[in-house]
């Protein structure tokens, strides 16, 4: 599904950066500069053989100073709906794709006196652009990166040479762990914390910071909520009477877009809350995969985040 405001780009480079991890470079087909972005931003990429049938969000991993194009770094996952498999196996240099303009839901807070960045695994991607920007601007920061060291870790050499003593590595496959308590307790007032990676790292970091009295406005995190596949179901839109079938590998949002409906969306990863739609009835069980709704809101079942959540059942009726 191609959107009216999409940017048409050509793939100009594909490079292995670690096991099952590739970097892709996109440049506008019209030869101009793509829109500016700041560290932490992401784009969505229309993927699949069927006219970009799925749209996945990917963090921009290049430098914000690079005015020629965008770079994304993609781990080939086994539980993928097909987005990372498509990029790894079918996309070639020279091919054209459609992407959205950058959206930033994980921005740097430049009022901070210091920035503490914590990454786990492929969660390093937003910090690649953020550290470039922080270093360019002479900001006070350090990066703590937990990774598997048995193979080549993505970007380790680049980060080590760019950041020097501001870069700290932890080999999780050798049992090394970030000592969150010591690290977080030792930061000066006015420090902002940014964390991205596996759920357990994000949860543990937020819990430790909170227990040490960090203000919630100084804690920033980015979760990846890849929409899982599920059984097909039907969605009925009460206002128009339109009925749409959501396929096994499609999200509710993608099915609506494909049917010509334009529901709201932003992150497409279950985090921002933009795609929330009211539920009038559900013939089956709502499967909430987002990070936005509270437990109470989920239990009430009055709304659904269409970018990641779905129905296990027959028919969902939305007040839309
Ligand atoms: S688009 Fe952000 S939560 Fe769905």
Distance 286 CA to ligand 1 centre (A): 16
CA distance 269 to 291: 9
Q: What pLDDT does residue 48 have?
A: 76
Domains parsed from the chain with CATH numbers: 7-99 (2.40.30.10), 114-222 (3.40.50.80), 233-318 (3.10.20.30)
- Which residue's C-alpha comes closest to atom 3 of ligand 1? 270
Q: What is the pLDDT along the chain (320 residues), one digit of tens a residue?
A: 667 688 999 999 999 998 899 999 999 999 999 999 999 999 999 987 666 568 889 999 999 999 999 999 999 987 667 789 899 999 999 999 999 999 999 999 999 999 999 999 999 999 999 999 999 999 999 999 999 888 777 899 999 999 999 999 999 999 999 999 999 999 999 999 999 999 999 999 999 999 999 999 999 999 866 788 899 999 999 999 999 999 988 899 999 998 999 899 988 889 899 999 999 999 999 999 998 999 999 999 999 999 999 999 999 999 99
Q: What pLDDT does residue 52 have?
A: 57
Q: What pLDDT does residue 153 have?
A: 74
Name the β-bridge partners of 282: 316
Question: Quick check: helix, strand or coil at residue 174?
Answer: helix
Site to probe by mutation for ligand 1, drawn from 272, 297, 320 as the one with most ligand atoms within 8 Å of Cβ, is: 272
Pocket of ligand 1, beta carbon within 6 A: 265-268, 270-275, 290, 292, 305, 307
Q: What pLDDT does residue 225 have?
A: 63
Alpha carbon dihedral 242, 245, 251, 252, in 10-degree steps, equals: 30
Of the candidates 274, 281, 237, which has an alpha carbon nearest to the alpha carbon of residue 259?
237
Distance 235 CA to ligand 1 centre (A): 18
Distance 156 CA to ligand 1 centre (A): 31
**pTM given for the model:** 0.88
Q: What pLDDT does residue 2 have?
A: 65
Ligand 1 atom having least distance to the Cα of 264: 1
Report yes or no: 310 and 246 within 8 Å, Cβ to Cβ. yes
Query: CB under 8 Å to 204, separation ≥6 — which residues?
Result: 180
Distance 182 CA to ligand 1 centre (A): 34
CA separation, residue 154 to residues 132, 159, 299 (Å): 16, 9, 40
């Amino acid at each position: 599904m191609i959107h009216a405001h999409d940017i048409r780009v050509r793939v100009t480079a594909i490079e292995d950066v670690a096991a099952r991890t590739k970097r892709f470079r996109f440049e506008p087909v019209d030869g101009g500069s793509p829109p500016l972005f700041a560290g932490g931003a992401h784009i969505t990429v229309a993927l699949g053989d069927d006219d970009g049938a799925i749209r996945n969000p990917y963090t921009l991993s290049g430098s914000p100073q690079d005015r020629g194009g965008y770079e994304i770094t993609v781990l080939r996952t086994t539980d993928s709906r097909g987005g990372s498999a498509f990029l790894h196996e079918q996309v070639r240099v020279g091919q054209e794709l459609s992407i959205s303009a950058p959206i930033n839901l994980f921005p740097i807070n430049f009022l901070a006196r210091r920035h503490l960045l914590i990454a786990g695994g492929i969660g390093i991607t937003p910090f690649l652009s953020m550290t470039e920007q922080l270093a360019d601007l002479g900001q006070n920061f350090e990066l703590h990166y937990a990774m598997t060291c048995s193979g080549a870790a993505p970007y380790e050499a680049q980060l080590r040479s760019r950041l020097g003593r501001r870069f700290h590595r932890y080999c999780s496959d050798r049992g090394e762990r970030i000592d969150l308590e010591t690290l977080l307790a030792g930061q000066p007032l006015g420090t902002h914390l940014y964390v991205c990676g596996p759920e357990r790292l994000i949860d543990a970091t937020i819990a430790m910071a909170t227990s040490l009295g960090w203000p919630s406005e100084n804690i920033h995190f980015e979760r990846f909520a890849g929409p899982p596949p599920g059984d097909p179901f039907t969605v009925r839109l009460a206002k128009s009477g339109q009925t749409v079938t959501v396929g096994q590998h499609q999200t509710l949002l993608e099915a609506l877009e494909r049917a010509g409906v334009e529901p709201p969306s932003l992150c497409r990863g279950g985090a921002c809350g933009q795609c929330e739609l009211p539920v009038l009835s559900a013939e089956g069980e709502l499967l909430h995969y987002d990070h936005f709704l509270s437990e109470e809101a989920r239990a009430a079942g009055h709304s659904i985040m269409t970018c990641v959540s779905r129905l296990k059942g027959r028919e969902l009726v939305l007040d839309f």
